[in-house]
Structure 1
Amino acid sequence: MQVSSTIRDSFIQFVEGLFPNLTTEDPLFNVLALSAILLTSAIIYVVARLLIRPQIAHWVYRSNNRWDNALHEHGFFRRLMHLFPALFIYIATPALIQDEAVMHGIVIKCAQLYMLYSGLLALYALLSTVEDVYNASALAKRAPITGFIQVTKLAFAIVTILLSISLIVDRSPLLIVSGLTAIAAVLLLIFRDTILGFVAGIQIAANRMFNTGDWITMPKYEVDGEILEIGLTNVKVQNWDKTISTLPTYSLTTEAVKNWRGMQESGGRRIKRAIYIDVHTIKLCDNNMLDRFAHIRYINEYIDKKKNELRAYHRDYSIDESDLLNSRRLTNIGTFRAYLEAYLRKHPQINQELTLMVRQLPPTELGLPLEIYCFSAEKEWVKYEKVQADIFDHVLAMLDLFDLRAYQRDGYWPLAAHRDTSLYTPVEAESPPPHNE
């Protein structure tokens, strides 16, 4: 009270020196008082910006901590300086402007609102700092908090709005809240995405379903890329064509989503692709073919082992090897399958600890599918595609050595000179080879 009286007396003496006939009841006195308050508060803010802020910046840059740098980058100290002029207005107004004046109540409320929203903006900067520091830690890969930070900001914004309304209408905030129940249905409709996003964010964080940096695919939204941000209402995904897709956060829990994180954290990326063998080219192997296959490095031991097994079988059951009806013989497709598996077992870029097989799928009108199922040790997209392409380049090139041909609907591939000339018959698109040949 003593300080307020001193400020008021000093200001009255100053005004009487300029306007000798002006009294404190005159409206012009209140206008001059308000002008003096606003001018002084502006000077306080400028002085704080010019003197205090550089000192804070100097202290921040000298510090080795990350959090104070983040506070400075998000403008926490700059926003906090607005409290100084707001506090001065709130303190000086009762001293210079009479309580009975209408201007007194308006200025006081404006000062309170100024402090309220300055504090809110400073709190926003503090929450953004917490988010940045957390995202820089290892925990961010396990549980993102962007959604929770946004919910916290929204909660503080709602509280600030309620307090602002209560200040303006001079009513208790509890009374304002009780009145909101009448329009709860409207609020639920307005904040539908926010509520759904908040619930989805809790599910995502609790179950560790998705993190920033995960590769996801969502065919419904044509999304195929890396998650940039998981927010309260939206998720940003950068597709591999560098476009940005934005989708509702709750869609990650309500729609079909494929997360490739398991592949990225595993020992390899799956290769699962089939080539279709023309069934006309599948046949039994004669001795000449087996002798030729025995010179192939990967299956020479396999051929010798199979020859010994067949020789023992024919001897035990007294079967003449020239008896095509009762004798057992290898097929070129089976030998080729054994070669491919041995080739993959020796491939340096195939993970040998994961599933590896070459299998036949049910025949179709396009031929007999021969599928390669294995895992590339290279998981990065470009390197993975190169490994896969190299494997199938080799597979297609080796077909001719096993007297096999890949089926294609609109024609045929030329055969080597050692093949039966009856195999040169073109395959018409309208009449694919039957299944039972």
Structure 2
Amino acid sequence: MLSQSWRVALVVFGLVFATATVAFIVSRIILVLERHFERTDNLWDDTVLHALRRPAIGFVWLQGVYWAAEVAHSYSEAEIFSVNDKLLELGFIGILVWTLFGIIKKVEQTLSSPLRMKEPMDYTTVRAISKLLRAVVAITALLTVMQSLGYSISGVLAFGGVGGIAIGFAAKDLLANFFGGFIIHMDRPFKVGDWVRSPDREIEGTVEEIGWRLTTIRTFDKRPLYVPNATFTQIAVENPSRMLNRRIFETIGIRYVDVGGITDIVDDIRSMLENHEEIDAKQTLIVNFLKFNSSSLDIMVYTFTKTTQWVKYHEIKQDVLLKISDVIVSHGAEVAFPTRTLHVADSLRIENEEAEARKGRSQRTDTDESRSDESRDQAADNGPVREPSGSGQTTTQGDEAES
């Protein structure tokens, strides 16, 4: 009742539908097994199953499409169906690589997870090993594919040996960065998440990623800094993240007039630090009178906090400094500030005092004379002036004029 093309189409459709059904069943079975194995103490069964679920579905589809293509090829002479076997082989290699990549990734996550491992491995080391394994899988797969396509692996390797020398000279910086990244992964001077800085270069920040060519560092102003790995083989690198304590190193100055109580002040500050709950008394703790400074008596305070956290360290340092201030005040002393005292010689002081006295007398004399002149001027303005006579009587200028 149906033509040959319709019959072939129905068979191909049936195979594809069956493939989809089998893929769905396989997915559900693996999902059920994953949930079951998650309740067990074994960490690796559910890890492997989770990595296998999608490649298994991909393999079912690859096999089903291959069978459908074979059915179509039996009724058709089209050239495209002649490469079914080769595509199946290449697809199988791809699914195998997909599976291995998934297993490597899941194992990496498991080994570095503090939620799944009691003692998780260092994330930087695990990631470096996983990158190396993925590179090995990719190179092996590439060579296998070339062999499947008819290329001679021995010829490829011979070409790589001869051409590798030229490539090495042309890409020496790239190779230097690659081996620099390898040395970082081997020596582990820092890892992802560490705070690093270099006294030789302007490099300081938090490590975000360690690649095979570049290391990404996020500076404290939130800018990314990309450093070639070869740089770390030539510079000194500090890793403050691995410090055991943070140091408080301060010089406190008090006034010279408080020299009598400096011994008690030093003893009380030392006692306060030894009993402070955030100060590590097992580390070096020094509180001593240091020197006679230009305007203060200097006391050195040298101690270490238990914490290494930057914010908490400053809170502890603030508390320590305020308590030191309280100790100083409790002894009736004060924290010194820059001052200067001027001493004048006795002879010069006497001369200055005599000059000031002469200046004062001169000013008083001038003042009396100016007052006399003002009085005479005022009397002349007010009218006739009476002058005493020998008989006790007075005459005026008007009377004399009439005489």
Distance in 2 of aligned mates of 1:366 and 1:254: 46
One-letter amino acid matched to 1:373: Y
Distance in 2 of aligned mates of 1:14 and 1:251: 74
Residue 125 (structure 2) aligns with: 144
CA-atom RMSD, angstroms? Answer: 4.3
Offset from partner CA, 1:57-79 (integer Å, 9 cap, x none): 11101222443444566x53112
CA gap 1:56/1:392 in 2 versus in 1, 3 angstroms: same
Shift of 1:202: 4.7
Shift of 1:53: 0.3
One-letter amino acid matched to 2:62: A
Distance in 1 of aligned mates of 2:142 and 2:196: 38
Residue 53 (structure 1) aligns with: 27
Offset from partner CA, 1:321-358 (integer Å, 9 cap, x none): xxxxxxxxxxx4x6654443333223232111111113
Where in structure 2 are the equivalents of 1:30-69 lying within 5 Å? Answer: 42-43=16-17, 45-63=19-37, 64=39, 65-69=42-46
Distance in 2 of aligned mates of 1:164 and 1:372: 70
- The reply on whether 1:157 has 2:128 as its aligned counterpart is no
2:269·2:287 contact (CA, 8 Å) conserved in 1? yes
- The reply on whether 1:83 has 2:59 as its aligned counterpart is yes
| Aligned mate of 2:163, from 183, 186, 202 | 183
| Aligned mate of 2:336, from 389, 405, 410 | 405
Distance in 2 of aligned mates of 1:396 and 1:197: 53
Residue 91 (structure 2) aligns with: 114
One-letter amino acid matched to 1:167: S
Distance in 1 of aligned mates of 2:292 and 2:231: 39
Distance in 2 of aligned mates of 1:254 and 1:86: 51
Shift of 1:381: 2.5
CA gap 1:207/1:341 in 2 versus in 1, 3 angstroms: same
SS at 2:25 equivalent: helix
CA gap 1:218/1:348 in 2 versus in 1, 3 angstroms: same
Where in structure 2 are the equivalents of 1:411-430 lying within 5 Å? Answer: 422=341
Aligned length in residues: 331
- The reply on whether 1:351 has 2:280 as its aligned counterpart is yes
CA gap 1:348/1:92 in 2 versus in 1, 3 angstroms: closer
Shift of 1:183: 3.3
Where in structure 2 are the equivalents of 1:8-407 lying within 5 Å? Answer: 16=4, 18=6, 42-43=16-17, 45-63=19-37, 64=39, 65-71=42-48, 76-88=52-64, 97=73, 102-136=79-113, 137=117, 138-141=119-122, 144-168=125-149, 170-185=150-165, 187-188=167-168, 195-196=175-176, 199-200=179-180, 202-218=182-198, 220=201, 222-225=203-206, 227-237=207-217, 247-263=227-243, 266=244, 268-275=245-252, 277=253, 281-282=255-256, 285=259, 290=260, 293=261, 332=262, 336-358=265-287, 370-396=299-325, 401-407=332-338
CA gap 1:338/1:114 in 2 versus in 1, 3 angstroms: same
Distance in 2 of aligned mates of 1:217 and 1:387: 24
Distance in 1 of aligned mates of 2:289 and 2:281: 20
One-letter amino acid matched to 2:153: P
Distance in 2 of aligned mates of 1:190 and 1:109: 37
SS at 2:302 equivalent: strand
With 91-100 and 145-154 compared, the bigger mean Cα shift is at 91-100
One-letter amino acid matched to 1:172: S
Shift of 1:162: 3.1
With 52-61 and 132-141 compared, the bigger mean Cα shift is at 132-141
Unmatched 5+ stretches in structure 1: 1-12, 20-31, 294-331, 413-420, 424-437
One-letter amino acid matched to 2:155: L
1:272·1:371 contact (CA, 8 Å) conserved in 2? yes
Shift of 1:90: 5.2
Distance in 2 of aligned mates of 1:51 and 1:175: 45
Distance in 2 of aligned mates of 1:130 and 1:190: 37
One-letter amino acid matched to 1:84: V
- State the TM-score, normalized to the length of structure 1: 0.60
Offset from partner CA, 1:253-285 (integer Å, 9 cap, x none): 54332223442xx3x32222345x48xx44684
1:234·1:247 contact (CA, 8 Å) conserved in 2? yes
Offset from partner CA, 1:227-254 (integer Å, 9 cap, x none): 4554444445566666665544555554
One-letter amino acid matched to 2:142: I
Q: Which has the higher contact order (CA 8 A, sep 6+)?
A: 1
Distance in 2 of aligned mates of 1:258 and 1:341: 31
CA gap 1:202/1:182 in 2 versus in 1, 3 angstroms: closer
One-letter amino acid matched to 2:141: T
Distance in 1 of aligned mates of 2:24 and 2:337: 79
1:150·1:231 contact (CA, 8 Å) conserved in 2? no
With 359-368 and 42-51 compared, the bigger mean Cα shift is at 359-368
Identity of aligned residues (%): 18
- State the TM-score, normalized to the length of structure 2: 0.65
CA gap 1:282/1:43 in 2 versus in 1, 3 angstroms: farther
Shift of 1:129: 1.0
One-letter amino acid matched to 1:146: R
Distance in 2 of aligned mates of 1:214 and 1:389: 26
Shift of 1:363: 8.7
Larger radius of gyration: 2
Unmatched 5+ stretches in structure 2: 343-403
Shift of 1:222: 4.3
